[in-house]
Chains A and B, each alone.
Chain A
Amino acid sequence: MPQLVCGNERVEVDENGYLANAEEWNENVAQALADQEGVGELKPEQLDVLKFMRSYYQNYRSFPILGSVCRNVHQPSECVNEEFIDPLKAWKIAGLPEPVDEVVSYLKRPV
């Protein structure tokens, strides 16, 4: 499996760059994933989105609707698209597993 270097640590990612083990996620790993996705240095508002996505996934094992993400982190209703441009990248940087194709097909994101 490919590895991603995060400072002194190394974590495994799958063939498409998704973190192999969601439990290994921390803010350093997030930054390394963000670098991999070309997102740049993560801002506090972005970290809030990532943390909410992670807690949502832990509770519901599902991709949240984007509006509910923004409401829960008290940001404007298009926050995921504005902060990350691509919500799929946000999900990936949050260290969560690759969603099913149908989710990718229906996510509001640039292609």
Chain B
Amino acid sequence: MAEPAAEKTLLDVVTEADTDKNAKGPELTGEINVPRVEEGRIVKGKLSGAKPHAAKPEIMTALGFPDTLVDNWEEAAVKRLGELLEKYKSLQVYLDICVRCGSCTDKCQFFLGSGDPNNMPVARAELLRRVYKKYFTTEGKLFGKLAGARKLDLKLLGDWYAYFHQCSQCRRCSVFCPYGIDTAEISMAAREIMDSIGLGQKYCDMTIGKLLEIGNNLGMNPKALTNTLESIEEDIEEEDGVPVKLPLDVEGADILLVTPSADFFASPHVESLIGYAKVFHQAGVSWTMSSLASEAGNFGMFVGNYTLMQKAAMRIRNAIEQIKPKRLIVGECGHAWRIAYSFWNTLIGPFDSLDPNYPAPQHICEYTLDLVKRGAIKLNKEANDEFTVTFHDSCNVARASRMGSRPGGQFTIPRELIKASCNKYVEMDPATTMEKTFCCGGGGGLLTDEIMETRIAGAMPRMQTLHAVMESDGVNFMALICAICKAQFTKIMPKYGVPMEVAGGVHQLVGRAIELGAKE
């Protein structure tokens, strides 16, 4: 006789997952095949069970959310949607103006990789749009299903939880939308509504909690951070024989570097940190990092919560007030650069105390390239001769920010810096680079292991285009400027039979090429 199962809570029902733990990527051919929308050819709802872990009560309450799915969740969700519509007129416009032209359908890496029709951006947005119609539009109220309206029931809420966590908010679909609908904003709204009714995603909410509690996503306290930086300094000196420093909390330093905490901890991320440090060392500038601002990342954006995003960013303002730097530079991190470039000024600005002669904030690639061009540092390209390099544009840098003083600087600056660091550089298929770049498949709060099937699917298009240049040109290094891209690719590449060492940082190349020591 089977034992009686423990009673499931509503939250258990909504977040119950069914995902393939042994998923592998398809064979690499170099081509991105669009799943055919034909009866029988498309696997309906293939990823409907690919749901991330739900946040536990203590994580939720620490962020000010209900500890579990509230009893009146339908009413509460509709109320929160109403508030978001009031606050963000853009959201209402995006929900109103879609004409279902189909331009976006084959543009999302999660659809291309999974063939799940709910991962067509329009279909994903419809999950929310139908609810909007039901409760907020006259035709939806009067004609219900005929007008495409749908009541928010538990099944639909479960689909929200699955599919709004299969969007990395990369905004590739928006590039192809003739109306400019920003589907990322729709995803963010859906996640904010879910958090507000007690349905939170563990990975994002736990990570925000650690940032607010300790100062960075990894939960690395100042004492551990100090020890870690000293350990990396020892590594550099052992390797290069040069005492390159990684200063922390130096008040009055000219430059404050804010970088993702992954740079202190992960591989290959730490190689880029070493690269930045060598650049500052060789430029002879005074610089520091800050234990208050030991995280450039900000998952408040991923969960669509302005208050949390601002709270997280406020640590950087506090660090500026403590350190009193002249310049603010941001390390290699995609979504962090979006927040820094596009939102910091309104979240925590203005930066009146910084030197107005420099961009605030400035991207590390722009800073380093400027030094190279002025001859202030020298790069020896031969040091990277073992590599044939390509560059993956990170979605948030490509489509949600800029770099330098010219339009398109976010594309040209990293490429110029890579080409200054190595002799062999190859572009991937131009239909998949710059503003048309694919997401790595792990952005937007998806970088958690329980949804590996989703992440493998989302990486498919980039893995195919990478494979093409590996075959045609012998590419063996894909340079990245995003902590999430680096972590995603190092874990996903083996699922496609590609060695993880192919993924690395732009400043990893710089760090290998830079000539240290006395200047001529």
Contacts and interface: CB of A to CB of B under 8 A. Distances in A.
Interface of A: 59-68, 71, 99-108, 110-111
A105 B449 contact: yes
Given A65-B270, A101-B207, A111-B449, A106 B218 contact: yes
Contacts of A59: 223
Contacts of A107: 266
A60 B223 contact: yes
Given A100-B218, A105-B447, A108-B490, A60 B210 contact: no
A110 B24 CA distance: 13
Contacts of B448: 101, 104-105
Interface string B221-241: 101100110011011000000
A61 B207 contact: no
B207 A102 contact: yes
Interface of B: 202-203, 206-207, 210, 217-221, 223-224, 227-228, 231-232, 234-235, 261-262, 264-267, 269-270, 447-449, 452, 483, 487, 490-491, 494
A60 B220 CA distance: 9
A100 B207 contact: yes
A68 to B, nearest CB: 4
Contacts, number: 75
Nearest to A100: B219
Contacts of B223: 59-60
A60 B227 contact: yes
Contacts of A63: 218, 265
18 contacts: A61-B221, A62-B219, A63-B218, A64-B228, A65-B264, A65-B265, A65-B270, A68-B228, A100-B207, A100-B219, A101-B203, A102-B210, A102-B217, A102-B219, A104-B448, A105-B447, A106-B483, A106-B487
A9 B382 CA distance: 60
B19 to A, nearest CB: 13
B449 A104 contact: yes
A111 B456 CA distance: 11
Contacts of B235: 67, 71
A64 B447 CA distance: 21
Contacts of B452: 111
A67 B231 contact: yes
A60 B225 CA distance: 9
A65 to B, nearest CB: 6
Given A106-B265, A106-B266, A107-B266, A62 B224 contact: yes
A1 B202 CA distance: 22
The 7 closest A-B pairs by CB, nearest first: A62-B224, A106-B266, A60-B224, A68-B231, A102-B217, A101-B203, A105-B447
A101 B448 CA distance: 7
B228 A105 contact: no
Contacts of B261: 102
A15 to B, nearest CB: 11
A66 B494 CA distance: 20
A65 B268 CA distance: 12
Contacts of B220: 62
B6 to A, nearest CB: 12
